[in-house]
């Protein structure tokens, strides 16, 4: 913008520009003041999770046939599976996912022939150390049966 030659004129132009700048800034402030806040009071308020969200896995152990397709499909080897037997008689001893490495890429889900591993909506991976991010998804659902047979 051109500077006025006259000192008095320059003085009033500066006042005008300052007021215009303040008015523009206050316009934005007032507009946002009446809008709905985008922040949430977490954890009292929880976000709405979209359908396509890929959170921590859901594992249906009873349907797992220990085929290891998910383990082979995982690009970074973060699934660790321990079992005895194969197919419908498989006994799953451990199904662990290391979430310090998981990419949430969904490839394990796509590879599973029995649809027993899915991406869930849980996102809370809070932990005091890295070991807390390695999650065991299998439960010892066979312990009662094994105790009886022993």
Using CB under 6 A as the binding rule, whether residue 138 contacts ligand SF4 is answered as no
The conformational region for residue 21 under phi > 0 = left, psi -120 to 50 = alpha, else beta, is alpha
Of 53, 55, 58, 69, which one interacts with ligand SF4 (CB under 6 A)? 69
- Tell me how far apart the alpha carbons of residues 122 and 124 are, in angstroms, rounded to a whole number: 6
Asked if 137 is part of the footprint of ligand SF4 (rule: CB under 6 A), the reply reads: no
From the list 118, 95, 121, 93, the residue with the least C-alpha distance to 108 is: 118
Cβ-count burial 22-38 (b if 16+ within 10 Å, e if not) = eeeeeeeeeeeeeeeee
**Comparison of 88 and 145: residue with beta carbon closer to ligand SF4:** 88
The answer to whether residue 58 forms part of the interface with ligand SF4 (CB under 6 A) is: no
- Return the residue of 29, 87, 93, 112 that touches ligand SF4, per CB under 6 A: 112
Select 13 or 101, whichever has its Cβ closest to ligand SF4.
101
What does the binding site for ligand SF4 look like in residue numbers (CB under 6 A)?
64-70, 73-74, 76, 78-79, 81, 97, 102-108, 111-112, 114, 116-117
């Amino acid at each position: 913008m051109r500077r006025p030659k006259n000192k008095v004129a320059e003085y009033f132009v500066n006042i005008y520009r300052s007021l215009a700048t303040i008015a523009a800034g206050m316009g934005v402030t007032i507009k946002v003041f009446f809008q709905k806040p985008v922040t949430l009071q977490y954890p009292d308020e929880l976000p709405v999770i979209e359908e396509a969200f890929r959170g921590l896995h859901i594992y249906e152990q009873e349907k797992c046939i220990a085929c290891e397709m998910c383990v082979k499909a995982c690009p970074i080897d973060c699934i660790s599976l321990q079992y005895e037997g194969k197919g419908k008689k498989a006994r799953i001893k451990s199904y662990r996912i290391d979430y310090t490495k998981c990419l949430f890429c969904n490839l394990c889900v796509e590879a599973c022939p029995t649809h027993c591993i899915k991406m869930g909506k849980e996102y809370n991976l809070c932990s005091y150390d890295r070991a807390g991010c390695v999650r065991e998804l299998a439960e010892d659902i066979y312990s009662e049966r094994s105790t009886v047979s022993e």
